[in-house]
Amino acid sequence: MTTGRVELGLPAEAAEIVDDYLATVARDAAQWVVADFGDPRLLAGSLAHELASGAARRTGATLLATGPLVGLVWVATYRTDGSNWLSNVVAVLSNAPVFQLVLLLAVPAAVVAMAGPGVPGRRLTPPPGLVPEAAIIATSAVVLGDATLIGTTLADARGVTALAVTAILVSAVRAFLAGVAMRRIVRLRAASC
C-alpha cells in the first residue's frame, strides 16, 4: 500500500518538504481539473452517456448486418419442396407468427439505435437518450425472436435436422450476444443518469 510519500532517499526533513510540495501541487491540479472539466459526477455521467450511445450505435449496426444472414439460415431450414425463396420465407413466418411482430419492432429500433454521428445520423437525428433506448428495444426483440424461432423449431413434430441445429446454434449465439450488449447498454444508461 502506498502512503503518498515519495521515497527519494532524502533525509527526513527534505523528504517532508518534497512531500508537502507534491501534496500542494496535487491539490492545485485537482482544483484545476474540476474547474476545467466540471463536477466529476457530471463528467462521469456525460462520459457514460457517450459510451452508451456508442455501444447502442454499434449494436444497432450489428443487428442490422447479422439479421439477414441469420434469416437466410432459418429460411434454408424451413425450405419447402419448391425452390422459391419467397415461399420459404412465408414458411418461416407462418411457423413462428410472433416473429412477424418481432421483426416489426426490432428492425426500426435497430435503425434508430444506429443513428448518431456519421452518415446515418445526418438523415435521422433522434432526441438525446433515444439511441440507447432503441438499442435496448432492438436487442430485447432479437432475443425474443431468436427464442421464438428456436422454440417453435424444437416443438415441431418433423424433427430437428442438421440444418435446423445450425440455425438454432446461430440464433442462440446471436441471442446471447444481444443479451450481453443489452446488459452493457442498460448499465451505461443507468450510470449516465
The pLDDT score that the predictor gives to residue 186 is 93
Give pTM, 2 decimals.
Answer: 0.74
State yes or no: pLDDT of 150 exceeds 50: yes
Name the range with the highest mean pLDDT among 50-64, 91-105, 153-167: 50-64
Share of the chain above pLDDT 70, in %: 86
The pLDDT score that the predictor gives to residue 86 is 78
Contact 156, 189 (CB under 8 A): no
* Region of poorest pLDDT, from 2-16, 17-31, 140-154: 2-16
State yes or no: pLDDT of 128 exceeds 70: no
